[in-house]
Structure 1
Amino acid sequence: MAEVLYDSPYEVHDPRFAKLINPGAKLERLATGFRWAEGPAYFPAQRRLIWSDIPNNRMMSWNEVDGSVAEFRNPSDNCNGHTIDRQGRLVSCSHLRRAVIRTEHDGSTTVIADSYQGGRLNSPNDVVEHSDGSIWFTDPSYGIDTDYEGARSDREQNGCHVYRVDAATGEVSRVADDFERPNGLAFSIDEKKLYIADSGRTHGEDLPHHIRVFDVVEGKTLKGGEVFAVCEPGFFDGFRLDEQGNIWTSAGDGVQCFAPDGTLIGKIKLPEGCANVCFGMLRNDRLFMTATTSVYAIYLLVRGHRTF
């Protein structure tokens, strides 16, 4: 059963945030005992939340119906971020396989991308789908830097970049090449913009810890890339948008919420640093948060933006 932690985990920085939160909702811990919980994704048809426990090389599952927690996949090839595509299939970023992989409805897996211009990818981290079916993903080097989250290996790419996989041809193209460690990413509601986190601070205090925003050109390329928001404390990792276009993002002190104009409007304080979030449940109004050793959840007064 879920463990109720405390009644009011909120910090309201702007009146707009007060309209998004439910003072009567409790912060709950659904599961604990993980090394690095990451990449939550909610399956509406299965009424199930899945997430990665990367160093333990497994994926976990929480059953909405009875609250039970079980292993979903073991070994998981050190999977990190996930998304559910518009056909209800799980798309995953595997550190160990250095690939983006799709789980088909029959349980088989398909490699979407594992190389670019003849060289293996570093270790895909997070992934989203565009409405045209193309897959966009970030490729930092966390899974090959050490053996903790994958397997220590040499880079075969000239840096840490962002890629797009064409739905019709499977062609992999590089869409951004000026990041230290590209991480979480999400499209705006109208898909005219793509937000991408740079978590470079993990490799130095003077390196980026912000989200950048790009213009999406004809659904295929990016331009711009100005800084949208800077993280304090820590660094941004994964994030999602709600139906109003607000960004709910992981941070060192929990979850931070930014309005579409880049204003920090509020926070959900957690007992440990957060890695990623997603929305789920019947009305898509519950925020699930993977935060280091545990998974937390809270009901909001705003629904998450559905992409399928």
Structure 2
Amino acid sequence: MELVVFSDKIFEIIDKDYVVEQLVSGLVFTEGPIWDKTTQSVLFTDFTPNRIYKWNRAEGCSVYREESGRAVGLTMDRAGRVVSCETSKRRVSRIEENGEATTLASHYEGKRLNSPNDVIVKSDGMVYFTDPYSTAMGDTKELSGNGIYKVSPETGEITLLGMFNRPNGLAFSPDEKLFYMDDTNLQHVEVFDVTEDGLITNGRVFATLDTDEGRGAADGMKVDSLGNVYVTGPGGVWVIAPDGEKLGIFKFPEVAANLCWGGDDWKTLYVTATSSLYSLQLNIPGIPIGKGLDEI
């Protein structure tokens, strides 16, 4: 696999002789990978057939959940429960231990959400998600714009953090003092300061992705334990230092859509790309989803 190098600092993150492994193939539109450390498995969505899959070394790939609500983004809360963006049902849900789905957010000020796309959970348990209008299967749009929201899973209180062009991936810095969002239409990543009450402010452009690098658009995003930002975009997975310096692009045979860390040391990067799930080993661990920083 080709590596685009913008700075030699990229080799602090990945070895020059790295290997990309194709773990799953033959699917349709893979998205939303997360690592389930209890089963040592990757969970990921396949939008078109409306499923969530599970993959691990011992068992290979199997169906984890049928009728996913055409889920795209997934994450886990601090109790290890899967939180899902169900685009066709226009809601964010949580999958309980018995397999039932609990709605966390479906409306804002009495109007249906657009089509929730990606989701993360802050260390205090608050759920943050993007809500562009793109995959709601032709339903009527009720909200006036495309927002980013946070919702309390305890009270159901939902707060609009801001309206944007087409918000997609989102992530916090390791100390949760910064909030990142990428915009698919504008092909850039924005960064915000996080207030004490979990709102976002002082938005500014963090990095612009060059569309000449290949197919794809700003989509999934994660941040590693040192604060480097990884975003799927034109040509592959872009790696950007905390100061905004572009370090490189991990290229894949297919268009990369989303990514997550996993493995015992959280140094395995899993990437969903069109019909496949890929992995590669990095030198810097990611931040365990839904867990405190002391567990890195």
Coarse TM-score class (shorter-chain normalised): over 0.9
Q: Aligned to 2:68, what secondary structure does the other structure show?
A: coil
Deviation digits for residues 24-69 of structure 1, max 9, x if unmatched?
A: 4310111111221110011001111011110111111111334x11
Deviation digits for residues 96-135 of structure 1, max 9, x if unmatched?
A: 1100000112322210000000000011000011111110
Provide the identity percentage.
Answer: 37
Q: Are residues 167 and 94 of structure 1, via their aligned partners in 2, closer, same or farther at CA, if it must alter by over 3 Å?
A: closer
Hey, what's the Cα distance between the residues in 2 that align with 1:11 and 1:211?
Answer: 19
Q: Structure 1: state its 5+ residue gaps.
A: 1-5, 145-150, 201-207
Q: Structure 2: state its 5+ residue gaps.
A: 292-296
Hey, what's the Cα distance between the residues in 2 that align with 1:198 and 1:223?
Answer: 17
CA contact (8 A) 1:59 1:72 kept: yes
1:220 maps to amino acid = G
Residue in 1 aligned with 2:294? none
Equivalent of 1:105 in 97, 100, 115: 97
Hey, what's the Cα distance between the residues in 2 that align with 1:223 and 1:259?
Answer: 21
Compare 286-295 and 226-235 and name the one that shifted more: 226-235
Indicate whether 1:289 and 2:274 are aligned: no
- Residues 234-273 of structure 1 correspond to what in structure 2 (within 5 A)? 234-273=216-255
CA contact (8 A) 1:12 1:18 kept: no
Residue in 2 aligned with 1:182? 167
Equivalent of 2:31 in 30, 35, 38: 38
CA contact (8 A) 1:49 1:64 kept: no
Residue in 1 aligned with 2:159? 173
Deviation digits for residues 233-266 of structure 1, max 9, x if unmatched?
A: 2421011111111011111211110000111101
Hey, what's the Cα distance between the residues in 2 that align with 1:232 and 1:56?
Answer: 31
Hey, what's the Cα distance between the residues in 2 that align with 1:52 and 1:91?
Answer: 12
Equivalent of 1:301 in 283, 287, 291: 283
- Residues 95-134 of structure 1 correspond to what in structure 2 (within 5 A)? 95-134=87-126
Q: Are residues 112 and 167 of structure 1, via their aligned partners in 2, closer, same or farther at CA, if it must alter by over 3 Å?
A: closer
Residue in 2 aligned with 1:23? 16
When the two structures are superposed, what TM-score results if normalisation uses the length of structure 1?
0.90
- Residues 29-178 of structure 1 correspond to what in structure 2 (within 5 A)? 29-66=22-59, 68-144=60-136, 151-177=137-163
Q: Aligned to 2:201, what secondary structure does the other structure show?
A: strand
CA RMSD in angstroms comes to 1.3
2:140 maps to amino acid = D
When the two structures are superposed, what TM-score results if normalisation uses the length of structure 2?
0.93
CA contact (8 A) 2:104 2:153 kept: no
1:171 maps to amino acid = E
1:80 maps to amino acid = V
Q: Aligned to 1:56, what secondary structure does the other structure show?
A: coil
Residue in 1 aligned with 2:195? 217
Deviation at 1:167, TM superposition (A): 4.2
After the TM superposition, which segments of 4 or more aligned residues of structure 1 sit over 3 Å from their partners?
A: none
Indicate whether 1:191 and 2:183 are aligned: no
